[in-house]
C-alpha cells in the first residue's frame, strides 16, 4: 500500500517535470503593492521563439514600464536545451484586486496571478499633486453639431517618463480631431506655482443616439515621498519614484436627430449666424463691373459645414463668382467659422434690374428653433454706357447695304449693278419675241460676257494692290482717337482703360456691337486670346499685373471684321484696320 507521502512526492515530481517541459511559465515578485508602485512578471520560455509571445492581454489593467530578457543553453544527457527569461516591469492602472492574465504561446498558457493594489489618495495640484480636468461644450447636442472637449492638465509637481492618451469614443459614432495647438502656461494657486497644459478636441456626432466619450489619460512617474535628497541617487534608484495614473472625466451624451420641423435644404446647427452683402460701388453703368462681397459667419460650426450659396440668374446681368475664402478660429472657447465670396457683376444692358433675395435656413441651438437669414432684394438703376452711341438706328437684321464697307468694294458693286439692272429690265419689257429683240439679246449677252471677262481681269489685277490699300486703311485707323487711346493704355498697362477704348473702336467699326463678346464682330485668333486675357484681368478678384504689349500687337497687326461681311463662312480678307 502506497503511503500518502509517496503519492504527494510523486505528484510534485510530475508537476516539476511538466513545468520543465512546458513552453511557457510565469511568476510575480509581489502579491500586494500600493497604488503607484510597480512589480515584476517573470516569464520562462523554452522550445519557442519569444518574439511570438503576445503581451496584449496585459494592457487592460497594467502599463508596461520596462522589459529585459536573458537567454541560456544547457546540455543534459547529450541533449541541448535552450531557454529565455523575460522580465517585465508592470504598473497597475487602478486600485483593487487585479488579475495578471495567462499569456499564450504555441497553444500553451502561462499561470494566472492575482495581485492586490492598495489605493493611495492622489494629491490635488494645489497640494503638490497632479490633476486632469475636462469640460464639454454641450451635453445634449444635435447630430453633426460640433462639440468642444477641453482638457486641462494641472501639474503641482514635476513628472517624468510621461505618456498621454487622447480621449476616445467608446460608444456611438463621431469624428474626433485636435482643435488648435497645445497651450502651456503658468498659474499660481494658494501661493504654489503650477504648470497648466491645455488641449482641445473637436467632437462631431455622426448619428443620433447614445455617445460615450472616455476621458484623456496620463501615466507618469513622480518622486516618491521617501526619495533620497541626492538627485543623482534618486534618478538611479527605482524605489525613488512611483507611477501615477490620472484621467479626465468620462461623458455619456444623448445625440438628438434633425428636428422634423426643419425646412432647410442643408442641415446647419449653430448658436449664431450672420449673412451680409456689400457692394464696392452704388453707381451702376452698362458694361462696367461692380464687386459684391457676400460674407457668411457662424458660431458653433466648422468651416467644412458652411453651405454653398446659390446665386440666382438675372437677365441682363453677368455674374462671375471667385473661389470662396474660408476661415476658422477658436475664440473665447467658441468655434467661429467664416466664408467670404467675391462676385463680379456686369450689367449687359441699361435700365432697371432686380437683384433677387438670397435666403438661408439654419437651426438655432440656443433657442432650439429654425431661423431664416436673408439678403434682401435690391433694385438696380443701370445707366447707359459712356461709350459712343451709333449715329444711325440700325435694323435688327443688318443687310449688305446697311453694313459699312470700303470704297473699293463700293466701286466694284457700282460697276456690276448696271449690268444686272439692264438684264432685269430686258426680261421685264420684252413680252414677245421678234427678230430685232433677238439680235438685241444676243448682242447684250455677248457684251455681258466680254464685260464679265474684263471685270475678272480687273479683279485679279487689283488684288495685288490690296495690301497697299489695307496698309493705308490701317494707317488711317491708327490715327483715330480710339486707336490712340488703346495704344496709350497698353503703354501704361492700364487694363480697364484699354478695354473701354477697344470697345469704342469695335463700335466704330460695327455700331451694333455692344460688347467685346458680341456676335456682330469677328476677331482673329490672336486678338481673341488677347481680349480673353484682358477680361480675366479686369474681372479678377484682387490686383493682377497686366502687360499691354500683347493686346497692342494684336490690335495693330490683326483684323476686326463685322459679322455682316462674312459670306459662306469665310472672312473678308480685304477689310482690315
CATH number reported for the structural domain that contains residue 199 in this entry: 2.60.40
Are 134 and 107 members of one domain?
no
**Cα 446 vs. chain centroid, distance in angstroms?**
79
What average pLDDT score do residues 346-360 get?
93
pLDDT reported for residue 204: 95
Structural domain contains residue 415: yes
Are 160 and 212 members of one domain?
yes
What average pLDDT score do residues 552-574 get?
58
Q: 122-126, 415-419, 547-551: lowest mean pLDDT where?
A: 415-419
Structural domain contains residue 554: yes
Q: Can you give the residue range of the structural domain that contains 287?
A: 269-383
Q: Considering the chain, what is the average pLDDT of its residues?
A: 77
Categorize the per-residue pLDDT at 262 as very low, low, confident or very high, splitting at 50, 70 and 90: very high
Among residues 118, 138, 153, the one where a domain terminates is: 118
Say what the alpha-carbon torsion angle 361, 365, 369, 370 is, to the nearest 10 degrees. 0
Categorize the per-residue pLDDT at 343 as very low, low, confident or very high, splitting at 50, 70 and 90: very high
Are 317 and 404 members of one domain?
no
Is the CB of residue 403 less than 8 Å from the CB of residue 565?
Answer: yes
Are 221 and 276 members of one domain?
no
Are 497 and 577 members of one domain?
yes
Are 556 and 420 members of one domain?
yes
Are 554 and 436 members of one domain?
yes
Structural domain contains residue 125: no
What average pLDDT score do residues 68-79 get?
74
Beta bridge partners, 41, equal 28, 88
Give pTM, 2 decimals.
Answer: 0.56
Is the CB of residue 270 less than 8 Å from the CB of residue 305?
Answer: no
pLDDT reported for residue 534: 83
Structural domain contains residue 13: no
248: burial class by Cβ within 10 Å (0-12, 13-18, 19+)? buried
Secondary structure string (H, E, C) spanning 76-94: ECCEEEEEEEEEEEEEECC
Are 467 and 554 members of one domain?
yes
Are 441 and 484 members of one domain?
yes
Among residues 255, 288, 320, the one where a domain terminates is: 255
Categorize the per-residue pLDDT at 413 as very low, low, confident or very high, splitting at 50, 70 and 90: very low
pLDDT tens for 94-135 read: 888 999 999 888 778 889 999 999 887 778 888 888 999 999
Residue 175 has pLDDT above 90, yes or no: yes
Q: Which residues contact 62 (CB under 8 A, 6 or more apart)?
A: 90, 91, 92, 93, 98, 100
Are 379 and 394 members of one domain?
no
Half-sphere exposure of 291 (CA within 13 A, CB side): 11
Beta bridge partners, 218, equal 164, 246
pLDDT tens for 314-336 read: 999 999 998 999 999 988 888 99
List, as one string, the DSSP characters of 1-30.
---HHHHHHHHHHHHHHHHHH-SEEEEES-
Categorize the per-residue pLDDT at 558 as very low, low, confident or very high, splitting at 50, 70 and 90: low
User: How many domains is the chain built from?
Assistant: 4
d(CA 31, CA 53): 24
The larger pLDDT score, comparing residue 46 to residue 411, is at 46
Are 397 and 526 members of one domain?
yes
Structural domain contains residue 12: no
Are 219 and 159 members of one domain?
yes
Structural domain contains residue 18: no
Handedness of CA 261, 263, 265, 271 (dihedral sign): negative
Structural domain contains residue 16: no
Residue 236 has pLDDT above 90, yes or no: no
d(CA 385, CA 285): 6
Q: 218-222, 275-279, 450-454: lowest mean pLDDT where?
A: 450-454
Among residues 383, 401, 425, the one where a domain terminates is: 383
* DSSP-derived secondary structure letter, 172: S
pLDDT reported for residue 482: 77
pLDDT reported for residue 567: 46
What average pLDDT score do residues 290-298 get?
95
Structural domain contains residue 4: no
Say what the alpha-carbon torsion angle 59, 60, 63, 67 is, to the nearest 10 degrees. -30
Is the CB of residue 61 less than 8 Å from the CB of residue 35?
Answer: no
Amino acid at each position: 500500500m502506497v503511503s500518502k507521502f509517496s503519492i504527494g512526492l510523486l505528484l510534485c515530481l510530475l508537476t516539476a517535470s511538466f513545468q520543465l517541459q512546458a513552453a511557457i511559465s510565469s511568476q510575480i515578485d509581489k502579491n500586494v503593492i500600493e497604488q503607484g508602485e510597480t512589480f515584476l512578471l517573470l516569464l520562462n520560455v523554452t522550445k519557442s521563439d519569444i518574439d511570438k509571445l503576445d503581451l496584449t492581454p496585459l494592457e487592460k489593467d497594467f502599463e508596461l514600464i520596462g522589459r529585459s530578457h536573458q537567454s541560456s543553453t544547457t546540455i543534459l544527457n547529450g541533449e541541448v536545451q535552450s531557454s529565455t527569461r523575460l522580465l517585465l516591469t508592470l504598473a497597475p492602472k487602478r486600485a483593487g484586486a487585479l488579475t495578471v492574465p495567462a499569456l499564450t504561446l504555441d497553444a500553451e498558457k502561462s499561470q494566472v496571478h492575482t495581485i492586490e493594489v492598495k489605493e493611495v489618495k492622489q494629491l490635488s495640484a494645489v497640494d503638490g499633486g497632479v490633476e486632469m480636468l475636462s469640460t464639454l461644450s454641450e451635453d445634449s447636442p444635435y447630430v453633426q453639431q460640433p462639440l468642444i472637449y477641453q482638457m486641462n492638465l494641472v501639474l503641482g509637481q514635476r513628472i517624468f517618463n510621461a505618456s498621454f492618451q487622447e480621449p476616445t469614443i467608446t460608444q456611438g459614432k463621431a469624428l474626433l480631431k485636435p482643435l488648435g495647438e497645445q497651450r502651456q502656461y503658468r498659474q499660481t494657486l494658494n501661493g504654489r506655482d503650477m504648470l497648466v497644459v491645455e488641449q482641445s478636441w473637436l467632437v462631431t456626432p455622426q448619428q443620433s443616439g447614445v455617445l460615450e466619450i472616455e476621458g484623456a489619460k496620463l501615466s507618469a512617474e513622480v518622486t516618491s515621498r521617501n526619495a533620497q535628497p541626492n538627485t543623482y541617487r534618486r534618478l538611479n534608484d527605482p524605489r525613488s519614484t512611483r507611477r501615477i495614473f490620472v484621467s479626465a472625466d468620462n461623458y455619456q451624451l444623448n445625440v438628438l436627430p434633425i428636428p422634423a420641423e426643419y425646412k432647410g435644404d442643408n442641415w446647419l446647427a449653430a448658436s449664431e449666424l450672420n449673412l451680409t452683402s456689400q457692394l464696392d460701388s452704388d453707381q451702376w453703368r452698362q458694361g462696367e463691373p461692380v464687386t459684391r462681397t457676400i460674407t457668411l459667419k457662424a458660431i458653433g460650426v466648422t468651416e467644412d459645414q458652411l453651405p454653398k450659396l446659390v446665386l440666382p440668374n438675372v437677365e441682363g446681368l453677368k455674374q462671375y463668382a471667385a473661389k470662396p475664402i474660408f476661415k476658422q478660429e477658436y475664440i473665447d472657447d467658441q468655434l467661429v467659422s467664416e466664408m467670404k465670396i467675391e462676385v463680379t457683376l456686369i450689367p449687359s444692358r441699361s435700365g432697371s434690374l432686380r437683384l433677387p433675395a438670397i435666403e438661408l435656413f439654419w437651426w438655432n441651438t440656443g433657442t432650439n428653433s429654425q431661423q431664416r437669414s436673408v439678403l434682401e432684394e435690391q433694385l438696380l438703376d443701370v445707366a447707359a454706357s459712356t461709350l459712343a452711341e451709333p449715329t444711325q438706328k440700325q435694323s435688327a437684321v443688318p443687310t449688305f447695304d446697311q453694313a459699312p464697307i470700303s470704297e473699293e468694294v463700293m466701286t466694284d458693286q457700282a460697276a456690276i449693278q448696271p449690268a444686272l439692272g439692264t438684264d432685269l429690265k430686258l426680261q421685264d419689257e420684252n413680252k414677245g419675241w421678234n427678230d430685232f429683240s433677238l439680235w438685241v439679246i444676243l448682242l447684250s449677252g455677248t457684251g455681258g460676257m466680254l464685260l464679265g471677262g474684263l471685270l475678272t481681269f480687273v479683279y485679279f489685277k487689283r488684288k495685288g494692290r490690296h495690301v497697299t490699300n489695307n496698309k493705308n486703311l490701317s494707317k488711317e485707323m491708327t490715327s483715330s482717337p480710339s486707336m490712340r487711346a488703346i495704344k496709350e493704355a497698353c503703354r501704361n498697362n492700364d487694363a480697364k482703360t484699354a478695354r473701354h477704348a477697344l470697345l469704342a473702336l469695335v463700335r466704330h467699326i460695327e455700331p451694333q456691337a455692344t460688347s467685346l463678346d458680341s456676335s456682330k464682330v469677328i476677331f482673329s485668333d490672336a486678338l481673341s486670346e488677347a481680349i480673353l486675357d484682358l477680361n480675366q484681368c479686369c474681372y479678377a478678384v484682387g490686383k493682377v499685373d497686366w502687360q499691354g504689349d500683347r493686346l497692342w500687337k494684336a490690335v495693330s497687326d490683326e483684323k476686326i471684321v463685322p459679322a455682316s461681311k462674312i459670306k459662306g463662312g469665310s472672312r473678308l480678307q480685304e477689310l482690315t484696320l
